[in-house]
Amino acid sequence: MIGLRAGISLAIAVILCAALAVIGWAAGRAAERTIVPAISAKADSVGRSAAALVENAVQAGIPLDQLVGVRDYFDSLRATNAELAQIRMMTTFGAVLTESGAPNLPADTPIVYSAVTARSGAPLATIAIAIDTSVISAQVSAVLVDVAFIGIVSLLVALELVALVVGTSGVEALAALEARIRALAGGRLSQHADAAKLPLIAPIDARVEQVNAVHRQVRATAEEKGDARALAALAEVETRTGLGSVHPGENHAATIVRPALFLFMVAEELTRPFLPRLVQGLVPAHLPFSLDFAMSLPIVVFMAGVALCQLPFAVASERLGRRSSFMLGALVAAVGYCASGLTEDYWLFLGTRFLSAIGYALVFVSAQGHVIDHSRPSERTAGLAVFVKAIMVAGLCGPPIGGVIADRLGGQAAFLVSASLAVIALVVAFFSLPRSAPRRGSAGVGVSDLAAALKAPRLAALLFGCALPAKFLLVAVCFYLVPVELQREGYSAAAIGRLQMIYPILMVVAVPVFAALAERMNARSGFVIAGGLVAGGGALLLTLGTSPALIALVLALLGIGQSMSIAPQSALVADSARHVPGGSSAGVLGLFRLIERSGNAAGPAAAGLLLAAIGFAAATASIGIMVVAGALAFALSGRHASATPTEAAHRPEVSPEGTPL
């Protein structure tokens, strides 16, 4: 049975898809009506300009049939105007004097004529410009593709922001009603712990309470009489229907923070497709390092800032309170984005990216900490899955939107849009997140904890052979090398953004599938190794060429490979945390996050150096070899000993950023 929330999401999807289909059809018709006249007007302008040049030459005393360089001039016009299929200069009797372009054209090809006249007004010749209709079709198709991708992104944004539109209480009410309907449909008569008191829910709870009251009374009577047969029958009924039990209800911590987190993450994802191109225009003329390395530095600075701030901010967010620290991080990031959009100095731009990284790290750990603080241990995995999904969907929505904005308005304007989204996320957090009391005495992860973490069985091979290379590959290839290469081949920021959607799409779809398979097959290590081989092996394919289709395949293999390994890898790290000498599990997870973020920071810097030294294909292949070698090293490092159930049960829980729970 489809749930209420799923039904609402489906209804939204159907309505939006229908509306976007109409908009797409109307956009295509409008493009055809506007592009064709615009190209015809452009051809007419080119023709009149060429005719004026010929008229000047004739007036200077040069006969038409002795003009020099006309063919080269026509060729240059066609080279700079792809929509011009052919340019001819003909006499008044139809004889061709000069021709550039395809000699044979379809009968229905639009042709624009411009007259060459003498000073007296007498016609001397005609310049005929044929328009290439395939270029018009391509432009219309490009408009439709942009509309289609914007439609997909609009749908994802709408589904993400349902909680914001409906409101937290509305989401909780829908969840409560859905839980009761599902329970009754399954024959379950347990009571519910949530305190939702809506007109639709209260009668259901009242009737279930009546049934449970009768059940309690009957049980009490049977116990007084010592009727073992009746008690056994009642126990069987309790097992089958849940009578006498209380359902804990669904936790909404992740749902509450998700809209604000999603909006903030979209703000950063907007910058992915156009950042290298924007930086290229800011790089000063004389630098002690290559242009490719200079273009990678803003990404390096951002990733390094996030890596350095991750662990200390985990404690800071507890001391400030999750809501306050989220809002502070969003404000700092908004200032950084705004400054990035306004500055034209390369070195100042690096500083603004680091400022945005500080805000990003604080928002990330605050949102994650909110989910952990407001959920029971058994609910944290599901809650963090919702948290991660919001980030991945932001990765789907941000690049295509950022690419379109950058193409239409410029990269600086896109950064200002990012700043606006960060401010909106701040406002949403102010109204949606609950106030949280600051925690005193929170302890972070020290150097001794990190040193002890490396003593965990097989952990070093997992971290340095799999975790670090995976993040290194992702940031180096997806965030830097691919945008730079496609930019050099002349692709727009919108097209680059669409290609960058491949990775998050596969992650959103495939991560739950591979996570379930790894658990079912009890093969976490195998999936981590296979994921590294698939992702790294995919990068090696670029030795065969650098076409957009091959790049798309490499990004798809990267998404599949990391989908296979990400959840099993986290589970293996958590398992290693239970084996650390002295029980310093916070050190293991803190080291894990530090190594991952280090890979994020080192990836673009190394990619910039490799790109300048050996080129795109060889640089990507080199990184792929490193990932494959790391996966093989982990495979050869031996079997990982599992913790016993008793051991695992007595280990302290830790949050993913390394702080004890």
Task: Specify which of 39-43, 47-51, 367-371, 603-607 reaches the highest per-range mean pLDDT.
Answer: 47-51
Are residues 327 and 356 in contact, defined by beta-carbon separation less than 8 angstroms? Answer: no
- φ and ψ of 200, to 5 deg: -80, -25
Q: Which residue, 95, 125, 96, 100, is CA-closest to 113? A: 125
pLDDT mean across residues, the chain: 78
The answer to whether the beta carbons of residues 444 and 594 sit under 8 Å apart is no
Instruction: Return the pLDDT at 534.
Output: 93
Least confident segment among 91-105, 263-277, 467-481, 638-652? 638-652
Q: What is the pLDDT of residues 197-220, one digit of tens each?
A: 566 677 777 777 778 788 788 888
Q: Each residue of 532-544: b (16+ CB within 10 Å) or e?
A: bbbbbbbbbbbee
As a whole number of angstroms, the distance between CA 625 and CA 475 comes to: 16
Residue 231's contacts (CB-CB under 8 Å, 6 or more residues apart) are: 219, 222, 223
> Look-up: residue for tokens 């009768």?
214
Other Cβ atoms within 10 Å of 153 Cβ, number = 21
> 96-101 and 111-117: which strand pairing?
unpaired
Of the pLDDT bands very low, low, confident and very high (cuts 50, 70, 90), residue 91 is confident
To the question of domain 16-138 being in CATH 3.30.450, the answer is yes
CATH of 252-442, one of 3.40.50.300, 1.20.1250.20, 2.60.40.10, 3.90.76.10: 1.20.1250.20
Span 269-285, pLDDT tens digits: 898 888 888 888 888 88
d(CA 7, CA 1): 10
Indicate the burial class of 120 (C-beta count within 10 angstroms; 0-12, 13-18, 19 or more).
Answer: exposed
pLDDT in tens, 447-463: 565 566 566 657 778 88
In which band, very low, low, confident or very high, does the pLDDT at 544 lie, cut at 50, 70 and 90?
Answer: confident
In the numeric block, which tokens belong to residue 117?
A: 């006249």
Structure tokens of 369?
A: 């900490």
CA-based nearest residue to 639, from 525, 468, 499, 515: 525
Given a cut of 80, whether residue 351 has pLDDT beyond it is: yes
pLDDT at 420 over 90: yes
What is the rounded average pLDDT of the residues 232-242? 80
User: What is the Cα–Cα distance from 242 to 235, expressed in whole angstroms?
Assistant: 10
Paired with 115 in beta bridges are: 126
- Whether the CB-CB separation of 483 and 272 falls below 8 Å is answered with yes
Q: What is the mean pLDDT of residues 558-574?
A: 82
> SS3 for 104?
coil
DSSP state at residue 244: T
Closest Cα partner for 355 from 375, 372, 371, 339?
Answer: 339
Domain 446-661 class in CATH = mainly alpha
Domain with CATH 1.20.1250.20 in the chain: 252-442, 446-661
Query: Cα(652)–Cα(571) distance, rounded to whole angstroms?
Result: 16
**Which residue's structure tokens are 């052919």?**
86
3-state SS class at 641: coil
For 334, the token pair is 């908004």
What residues form DSSP beta bridges with 91? 125
316 confidence band (pLDDT: 50, 70, 90): confident
- Which segments of the chain belong to CATH 3.30.450? 16-138
Which pLDDT score, from 0 to 100, does residue 358 have?
A: 94
The whole-angstrom separation of Cα 274 and Cα 522 is 42
User: What is the SS3 assignment for 2?
Assistant: coil
In tens, the pLDDT along 106-135 reads 777 888 889 988 887 888 899 998 888 777
Secondary structure (3-state) at 616: helix
User: Based on the number of CB atoms within 10 Å of its own CB, is 221 exposed (0-12), middle (13-18) or buried (19 or more)?
Assistant: exposed
**pLDDT above 70: residue 601:** yes
Over residues 375-383, the mean pLDDT reads 61
Q: Which residue pairs, CB below 8 angstroms and at least 24 apart, start in 117-126?
A: 117/51, 117/55, 118/55, 118/58, 118/59, 119/59, 123/92, 124/54, 124/55, 124/58, 124/64, 124/92, 125/54, 125/64, 125/89, 125/90, 125/91, 125/92, 125/97, 126/89, 126/90, 126/91, 126/92
> What is the pLDDT, as a whole number, of residue 651?
39
Residue 327: the pLDDT is 94
In this prediction, residue 352 carries a pLDDT of 95
Residue 571 vs residue 313, higher pLDDT: 313
Q: Kindly give, in sequence order, each residue whose CB lies less than 8 Å from that of residue 630, ignoring residues fewer than 6 positions away.
A: 464, 465, 466, 468, 469, 532, 536
Q: How far is CA 550 from CA 273, 472, 555, 619, in A?
A: 18, 20, 9, 15
DSSP state letter for 440: S
Q: How many CB atoms lie within 10 A of CB 214?
A: 11
How confident is the model over 239-261, as pLDDT tens digits?
A: 777 776 666 555 566 677 888 88
> At residue 232, does pLDDT exceed 90?
no
pLDDT value at residue 464: 85
List, in order, residues 6 or more apart from 14 with CB less than 8 Å away: none
Location of structure tokens 């349902």: 162
End-to-end CA distance of the chain: 36
Nearest to 175 by CA among 251, 243, 242: 251
Helix, strand or coil, per DSSP, at residue 90: strand
Residue 404 has pLDDT above 70, yes or no: yes
Residue reference for tokens 């919001």: 390
Helices (H), 270-373: 275-282, 291-320, 322-342, 346-373
- 191's enclosing H/E stretch is strand 191-192
597 vs 165: which has the higher pLDDT: 597
